[in-house]
Amino acid sequence: MQWIDETALKTWATFLNAREMVMAMLADLIRMTIDDASRFRFPSGEVSQLRGWDGDLETTEAKGYVPAGKSKWEFGTGPGAPKATADYKKRTKQTPAEEMAENTLVLVNLGSWNTGTKKIPEWEDDRRREGKWNDVKYIDGVQLVQWLKDHPAIAARYARNVLKSAPQEGALSTDEYWDEFSTQFNPQLSEKLVIADRQQEADALIAKLQGQPESFMLGAETSEEVIAFAVAAIRSAEPAARESLESRTLIVRTEAAARFLAMRTKMVFIATGAAESLAGGLGRKCPTLSAATGAQAKRSPMLNRPTATGMVPGFMEMGLDHGQGYELAHRCGRSLTILKRLIRNAPVADPVWVDQATALKPALLAGGWSNDLPADCEVLKELGGHATYGALEVILMPTLALPDRPVDREADVWQVRAPVDAFYFYGRQLTDEDLTRLSDAIVKVFGKQPEQPSRDQKYDPANAAGSAHSRWLRDGLALTLLIIASMNKVADLHVKGKSPQQYVDDVIKALPEWGKSHHSIVRLGDQTALLAEAAPNPFLTALESMLEGAPEQVAQIFESERDRFFGPSSPHVHFLWALESIAWDPRYLIRAVVVLAKLGQLDPEPDSNHVNRPINSLRDILLGWSPNTYGLLPQRIASLDAVLVARPDVGWQLLKKLLPRHMDSTSPTQHPKLRDLAPEVPEEITFGVVWDFETAVVDRTLVAAGDDESRLGVFVEKMGQLRPLNRAKVLARIDSHLAAHQTAVGNPIWHALKDESARNEYFSDSDWALTGDELAAVKNLVERYRPSDPMVSDRHAFDDWIPHVGKYVPGGEVIDDTDNVRKEVLQRVLARDGVPGILKLAKMVKLPGLLGQTLGQIPFTLDQMFELMKGALDSAAPPDLTYYVSAFGFDKFGDRWKDAFEDRVLAHVSDSTAKARLLLGWSSNQSTWAYVEGLGSEVQEQYWRHQGLLPAEGPIDEFLFAIDQFRGVGRDIDVLGLIHRRSKDVPSNLLVELLVKSAGQVDSSIKRMGNMLSYYVGQALKELRGRSDVERRQVALLEYAYFPLLRFESDPLTIYDLLASDPEMFVDVLSHVFRGKNTPDDQVITSEMKARANTSYDVLSAFKKLPGLREGKIDSRELSEWVTKARTLTAAKDLDDIGDQRIGFVLAHAPQDPGVPFWPPSAVCQVIEMVASEQVERGFAIECFNKRGVFGRGINEGGGQERQLAERYKGWAEATLKHPRTSATLMAISEEWSRSAERADVEAEQSKLKI
């Protein structure tokens, strides 16, 4: 708020007592600016009228407008250079030279400097050049206003007491209000917390406050919430908006202040308290906000409560961590009023409802419920001992009007606003009878196996999970039990004969089959973690008992996650969350991880990535650098040991996951909701703690690995991540293993170590790579145990796609380098060991295909090639080697290879298929095909059955011959995938025949060809559409045959054009899907009819082209004729109703005419009016909703999107009034969108009530 401006200072200058009051104000401003004055004399009142200086000051440091050192202050009136010069000369003449030399002269004037030819700094420089004063400063009215802005409390005091421009009391600036309000919280409230995820509402409010004069209201639970939100919005606005609003806004609290300000203009008011009754008067000249609460709030725009997630950043800005902020947001029910009570910095009054706490206990204990579910209402009735549920609602309804109400209601859902805070007030009033009723309610709600709803049962989101009771009630009861267990001291709760925790334990143990059947825990559902946190000991005991006695039953909690993306998660997930929550407590850590290990032993899919698994929970709980437990290092190591003893196999998997790895990551586990389990002095995760845990893991991993080759191999890939001491231990163990188990071809551990050594050397510039002595130790071990057979070293070129040879060079030609390395290796082997060496190497390597591909680069002789071919035919040789040898032999030696091939190779092969496979790598041309034909019909058939290529170039007759051979063995559909590069060479009639024949081969080929099949078919059809010698109807029929593959094709299909131009075809397709009204009920539906119906339905659903539409223009006559004929044909087939609906479907996809403000276009409106069919209008309306398609919605967004659609359709309805049926249909659509918006609002508000 800008309390004093330049105009006000001008007015001040006319007051008789201007001098004395200005000097008092200057004294106040100087006191607020500096804090080290050694001399301070600023007389005010009558004393200021005496002769002498208006002010005498000495300070050490210059701050703001106050100069350093000694200064003399003089006040004057009358703006501009003449007055300033006159005051300067007067004081210069009166002051001794030695006094001027050590003082700064400060002239203060209430008027603004109005001498345009000379600015203040220029005038000050002129005076300084005279050299009489140590310094000269001039402060005019503009600078005084800014100085007052910096200290609004001083400005407010003088505006009220001197200028009388503000009321004496009852009005605060935004700064004053925020200082008063925010300091009631400890830690002090932040603006970010108040706004939270309501920035859109804040921006809208700022726009209103900057707008035209009006009085408007914003609804909320309390007026304090509205005022705080408005002030926080102003203080968080963009700098220009904030400065403008802060300088003009007052929070008006009293009638007197409101009357005082009623005639002001260019201001902004926020009326509260007694001033709310005069908000209308204030709004006549200025924007004026007031709060609407209670029943009135429902008639005004509502300030919705923020979400807990949205409040967290604000809490973090106040110094809390994420978890604390999230939990506190839930505890306060996202209400500032309740939050102030929880983190108060001053006494806070009890909520209004406290006097009714006894009558409200049933609702407060239940926590939440849906009054649409009779089972929920029955539980509430029994909790209160009422004759009917309605008796409880009679008590609850009046509380909804309270400013700090205990419960919220959104549609059918009731929810306790802040269960933890409420417990403070009602917990001490709980009787034994109340606790018995609560126990009975929990057993009733959680003790019965949920029944799945029937298909005919009306859908209810509250009961979608199948339980007779709503999620609201289940969440509420579980949280109440947790509050009793963990926060009973807050309310001094006393339970007869036992502690509150024992009471909670007994409630859980009273659940049917507890500890005997896993169903007793499965029934807890989404509330499992809450109830486990409430009663960790009974929960663990029950699981321990069941895992010991009947583990095969517990194993049933694991359900396959395949095909469950849109269904409920496997029940085991709730078990894991519960155990993760319990594991935070050091008292239960070992028991929790042992149970997780036993569950891990039962897990049928431990490596699944769909949802969490027990082994992953174990890792996250015990992870050395980020443990998810408050257990200290010795306890975590003891837990690891307990797992190794209880379930060694799971322990081994856990050890592998706990070994360090580069770029590691973790996920936070389920954290206790209410229990504060953190130790008074939490463990700090230092490097030493992480290193010690690594050592413990490595030591135990070495013991568990023993001399097992596969287990020791785990260490090789971890070598670079280990600490030096631990790496030395591992190398020592590998050393002893290699000494005892080395072979002529190399131990698998040696090969792995060799690869790892090469990888580190190849990427030696990387941060993670071992270098220097560390790498030398590994290389030394590799060399000491290197097998004598040189082939062992040669094989590494073919053991990986990109072998680590040499050193990695960014941007280098890695593939070319790799090819050269492999070529050199094979040349070396051939020179050293001949063809037998090549064959031996092929049998040794991991990727023999890479070796086969390199053979073509080696200068074999013809005899060596046939020797290699003979060896490749050996059953011990890699299967694909014969293909590469035959192909490269043909490529290198041509006819010489072909002429000798039958005698030297084929004569030793008896199987026709094997013979054919040997020829697949030869050139695909007439010469090869003639050779194949000469080998007999069986070999020829197998050749074409296994051939994977058509000639990519060459004579067309060869190309067509090959296609004919493919077709001869029933491979028409394969041809479609091979011709796309030469599709223009395929005659139209052949292309049609291929498509016709291939349609019957789709089912057998879809798995083999995958998504490429739809691409190949689409390309073939695209080729046909561009040919003039193919009828469009023929293309359309082919599109229909392949429609399941083409429905998402981006290219426009011909079938849509035909449907839009031929109503007979449209009705024919329609008749495939729907039966006429008079069709006999016992009509036999064949599988062929079902398949045709499915395809036709898909075609109709995708048909969205408006008849008569060409190049964006609609031919109204053509559209009308198409609709008329289609309706006549559908009526003749008893399909008139469904036919009209499908016509309406098509009309709904009419494009909007450019430049026309309404939709649908006039041509469509005319058709709707002409046919006057309710079914057409119904189909049109349904598709207007459905064509919205998939859409996204923000968390708790509400129905904003639907309201926009409602407004759009309403606007179109108003613009089409001359077409009454169309207008009425559009208005009905608008109203339905409005109802959808209201439902979305309710769902959003109910979502905010979630625990």
Reported as a single tens digit per residue, the pLDDT across 722-734 is 999 999 999 999 9
> Which residues make beta-bridge pairs with 104?
71, 135
CA-wise closest residue to 111 among 8, 26, 9: 9
Type of residue found at 150: D
Mean pLDDT across 322-349: 85
Mean pLDDT across 616-629: 96
Longest dimension (CA), the chain: 135
Predicted confidence at residue 1251, as pLDDT, reads: 46
Predicted confidence at residue 647, as pLDDT, reads: 97
Residues 1158-1190 have pLDDT tens digits of 999 999 999 999 999 999 999 999 999 999 988
**CA 120/CA 124 separation, integer angstroms:** 6
Residues 32-59 have pLDDT tens digits of 888 888 999 888 654 444 468 889 999 9
* CB-based contacts of 479, cutoff 8 Å, min separation 6: 367, 419, 530, 673, 1251
The two three-digit tokens of residue 865, written as one number: 């090639």
**Total H helices, total E strands in the chain:** 63, 15
* CB-based contacts of 323, cutoff 8 Å, min separation 6: 671
Helix (H, G, I), strand (E, B) or coil at 63: strand
**CA 335/CA 222 separation, integer angstroms:** 9
Checking if the pLDDT of 385 tops 70, the result is yes
- Beta-carbon count within 10 A of 1238 CB: 15
Predicted confidence at residue 1010, as pLDDT, reads: 83
Pairing of strands 288-292, 268-271: parallel
Predicted confidence at residue 49, as pLDDT, reads: 47
Q: Which letter does DSSP use for residue 451 in this model?
A: P
Q: Lowest-confidence range among 469-473, 549-553, 817-821?
A: 817-821
Checking if the pLDDT of 461 tops 70, the result is no
Q: Where are the domains of the chain?
A: 6-153, 169-303, 353-453+460-512, 970-1139, 1200-1248
Split at pLDDT 50, 70, 90, the class of 524 is very high
* 77 dihedral zone (left: phi>0; alpha: psi -120 to 50; beta): beta
Checking if the pLDDT of 842 tops 80, the result is yes
Split at pLDDT 50, 70, 90, the class of 658 is very high
Domain 6-153 listed as CATH 3.40.190: no
**CA 786/CA 750 separation, integer angstroms:** 8
Q: Which letter does DSSP use for residue 494 in this model?
A: -
Predicted confidence at residue 677, as pLDDT, reads: 82
- Beta-carbon count within 10 A of 1073 CB: 19
| CA distance readout (Å), 366 to 363, 766, 922 | 5, 59, 80
Predicted confidence at residue 717, as pLDDT, reads: 87
**CA 1114/CA 1125 separation, integer angstroms:** 18
Most confident of 254-258, 591-595, 1106-1110: 591-595
Predicted confidence at residue 1233, as pLDDT, reads: 95
Predicted confidence at residue 864, as pLDDT, reads: 95
**Does residue 1003 or residue 1248 have the better pLDDT?**
1003
SS3 string, 1059-1099, reads HHHCHHHHHHHHHHHCCCCCCCCCCCCCHHHHHHHHHHHHH
> What is the residue-wise DSSP string for 396-413?
HGGGGGSTT-SEEEETTE
The separation between the first and the last C-alpha atoms of the chain, rounded to the nearest angstrom, is 40
**CA 660/CA 670 separation, integer angstroms:** 23
Mean pLDDT across 391-405: 90
**CA 577/CA 1 separation, integer angstroms:** 52
CA-wise closest residue to 330 among 367, 293, 291, 380: 367
- For the chain, how big is the Rg over CA atoms in Å? 43
Split at pLDDT 50, 70, 90, the class of 295 is very low
**CA 672/CA 686 separation, integer angstroms:** 24
Is residue 22 within 8 Å of residue 108, measured between CB atoms?
A: yes
Mean pLDDT across 85-94: 92
SS3 string, 289-301, reads EEEECHHHHHHCC
- Beta-carbon count within 10 A of 855 CB: 22
Mean pLDDT across 412-433: 89
> Helix axis angle, 152-161 relative to 141-150, nearest 10°?
110
Residues 560-583 have pLDDT tens digits of 755 444 445 789 999 999 999 999
Predicted confidence at residue 48, as pLDDT, reads: 42
Predicted confidence at residue 151, as pLDDT, reads: 79
Average pLDDT over the chain reads 90
Predicted confidence at residue 50, as pLDDT, reads: 46
Q: Give me the helices (H) in 905-1011, please.
A: 912-918, 926-934, 937-946, 956-968, 972-978, 988-998, 1002-1009
CA-wise closest residue to 866 among 888, 840, 842: 888
CA-wise closest residue to 1220 among 1140, 1174, 1165, 1175: 1165
Predicted confidence at residue 497, as pLDDT, reads: 93
CA-wise closest residue to 4 among 22, 27, 30, 17: 22
Mean pLDDT across 589-594: 98
The two three-digit tokens of residue 1011, written as one number: 């998504």
Mean pLDDT across 801-810: 77
Cβ burial 671-704 (10 Å sphere, 16+ → b, else e): bbbbbebeeeeebeeeeebbbebbbbbbebbbeb
Helix (H, G, I), strand (E, B) or coil at 981: coil
Predicted confidence at residue 47, as pLDDT, reads: 47
Checking if the pLDDT of 250 tops 70, the result is yes
Most confident of 288-297, 460-469, 1047-1056: 1047-1056
Percent pLDDT > 90 in the chain is 66
Percent pLDDT > 70 in the chain is 95
Mean pLDDT across 1186-1213: 90
**CA 380/CA 363 separation, integer angstroms:** 7
**Does residue 134 or residue 419 have the better pLDDT?**
134
Residues 876-923 have pLDDT tens digits of 999 999 999 999 999 999 999 999 999 999 999 999 999 999 999 999
